[in-house]
Every structure is written in structure tokens, then in C-alpha cells.
Amino acid sequence: MSDFDGPADRSIVSLIADGALDTELAATLWVLLEARVPLIVAAEAQHVGKTTMLDALLAFLPPKTRVVRLAGETETFGWLPQASELGWPGQATPPPNGDPIRPQTTVLYAAELSDHLPIYTWGKAAQVAVRATSIGYGLAATIHADSLDDVFDGLRGWPVRLSDDELSHLGVVLVMRRLDDDRRRVVAAHYVRPVARDVHGHLQRLGPAVLATWDADTDTFEHFGWGITPELARRVGRAAGDLEIEVDRRREHLDGLVTTGVAEARQALAAIRAYRPAAPFDARRTDA
């Protein structure tokens, strides 16, 4: 385990300017990541920019979020209080600095979910990392896959062996591709709906929803998140109307950063953190 901090090599603003995604999708991801909804960035080929995209999007996490980089083959999860109940064969050891690990403030970072390199996370460690999302931990990871189904198939199989209910906590899955002219695009953004119980205690299993897709003919993005606005709003603890307002305001903020060229990583991170959310529309007045 090691903590992960600092701006990415490239900012999300520069990736928007390059057309890898647009400001509407980025604003939606901002609201979701701020609530630590898990994020997986997938691409089948190498050198597509999965890690670049993932690291750039981490700018949308709240400033005090603890991002813990998993140690690949040498990961022991000794620092994770719930490791044994998540299936890891070991006992947690409090971190030496005494700073407790809490689901509400922690995101697990896996450079890649695979066995391609010793620093990557696979097998039992990948299983535990995904299971941790079911108890409130965030997750940020990349994976080699060309579709959402590929992501599911890879994580269902040996040696990770996650169930469909466990996979329902993956959160947002972005699928990226490199075009013939070497441009990169997010070609699909999915929201994986978590399994939940209704008011009668019955399990509800809803299929994934599409947040956005890329149109190759026009090099633009079509957006579909409006169809699940109430679900997304509940996920991030907002009223549906407030979520729509907040996504619009953040889209405008990102539009401004792109227009004014605030693309250098540290400058973009500072500008994103300087943003202040709107007050809830139905907030109780304090000036009466």
C-alpha cells in the first residue's frame, strides 16, 4: 500500500480539448467521482491512454480523499480493516501513522486489473478490491477490455471469480479506443447499477445504463444519463433537480477552462478545486 497524491501528467481539461471526452460527460463524472462512485477505464489495446484518463479524472475527487495505491503482487491488505470479511486471508494492521482507513474517505487505486506486470492487481487481490466497493470504498482502476461485457467476463473468470452481484458495484465503466489517426476517444460510458433491496426487502437487479456514446461520423458525444437522473441523484445524495443544475454548472465551468486554456495539470487541478457547488434548490433559508 502507498498513498497516491498530486496532479496527473495530463489534466482532464487537456483531454477534453483533445476531444477524448466532452464537458457534459466530464461534468457528470465529476459529480459521481465526488461521491466516490467507482471508476473503471477500459481499452483493449495498449497505449490507448487508460491510465492517463484515469489519473486525470482523479482531479474530481474531494481534496481530502485518501487514494491508496495497491501494491500488486506484494499487496497484503494488512491496512484494510475489513480485509478478512471481504475474503482476504489475513488480519488488518493499523497504519503506523495512526490514520484510520475509512470507506467514506478512501479510494483504492489499481494501476491495472491484470497479471501482466507484478505491480498490477489480479486474482484474490482484485476480488477484494472490487468487493470493497460494496461496503462504501471507492475504486479507480484500468483493465484491458473493449466493451462492458468484456470487463464483466474478465472479472467473472478465474482467478478473480466475482459474482454478478459483486460486479454490480463497479460504478462507472469508460471504454476507450485509439482511432486510425492516433486520436483517443471514450467510445462508451456505462453506469453499472448496484444490486439493492426494495422497501419490501426484495433484491433488485437492474441492467447497466449508458451515460454516453461517441458518434464516429460527427466526432461528437450523445448523452443518455438524463434517463436515470433520479438514480444518479440518489447515488450522490442530491435531489434530481439539483443534480441537473450541478452538472450544468460544472459543464459551464469546464467549458470556461477549455476556452481559456487552463490545461496545465497543476493549474487545472487548482481551478477544479476552486469550484463551489450551488446551494440545493430547496435549501432552507437562513436569512429569514
Q: Checking DSSP bridges between strand 39-42 and strand 138-143, what pairing results, if any? A: parallel
Q: What is the pLDDT of residues 103-138, one digit of tens each?
A: 999 999 999 999 999 999 999 999 999 999 999 999
Q: How many helices (H) and strands (E) does the chain have?
A: 9, 11
Q: CB under 8 Å to 107, separation ≥6 — which residues?
A: 36, 58, 61, 65, 66, 67, 68, 137, 138, 139, 140
* Cα 269 to chain centroid, rounded: 17
Cβ contact 3:66 at 8 Å: yes
Q: What does DSSP assign to residue 157?
A: S
What are the Cα distances from residue 279, in Å, to 30, 249, 272, 276, 284?
17, 12, 17, 9, 10
- pLDDT at residue 8, rounded to an integer: 77
Q: What is the pLDDT of residues 84-102, one digit of tens each?
A: 999 999 777 766 666 789 9
Q: What is the pLDDT of residues 227-250, one digit of tens each?
A: 999 999 999 999 999 999 999 999
Among the residue ranges 83-87, 169-173, 275-279, the one predicted with the least confidence is 275-279
Is 90 exceeded by the pLDDT of residue 286? no
Is 90 exceeded by the pLDDT of residue 29? yes
What is the signed CA dihedral for 135, 139, 142, 148, rounded to 10 degrees? Answer: 50
Is 80 exceeded by the pLDDT of residue 191? yes
Is 80 exceeded by the pLDDT of residue 166? yes
**Given pLDDT bands bounded at 50, 70 and 90, which one contains residue 287?**
very low
- pLDDT at residue 91, rounded to an integer: 75
3-state SS assignment for residue 124: helix
- pLDDT at residue 186, rounded to an integer: 98
Amino acid at 11: S
Q: For residue 186, which of 14, 11, 26, 13 has the smallest C-alpha distance?
A: 26
Is 90 exceeded by the pLDDT of residue 192? yes
**Given pLDDT bands bounded at 50, 70 and 90, which one contains residue 153?**
very high
**Given pLDDT bands bounded at 50, 70 and 90, which one contains residue 284?**
very low
User: How many other CB atoms are found less than 10 A from the CB of residue 212?
Assistant: 22
Q: What are phi and psi of 188, to 5 degrees?
A: -155, 140
Segment 260-281 mean pLDDT: 93
Q: Which residue has the higher pLDDT, 279 or 69?
A: 69
Segment 207-225 mean pLDDT: 97
Is 70 exceeded by the pLDDT of residue 7? no
- pLDDT at residue 94, rounded to an integer: 65
Is 70 exceeded by the pLDDT of residue 285? no
- pLDDT at residue 253, rounded to an integer: 98
- pLDDT at residue 288, rounded to an integer: 41
Describe the crossing of helices 240-260 and 265-274 by its angle, rounded to 10 degrees. 150
Q: What is the mean pLDDT of the chain?
A: 92
- pLDDT at residue 98, rounded to an integer: 67
- pLDDT at residue 5, rounded to an integer: 58
3-state SS assignment for residue 125: helix
Cβ contact 127:75 at 8 Å: no
Among the residue ranges 78-82, 127-131, 148-152, 277-281, the one predicted with the least confidence is 277-281
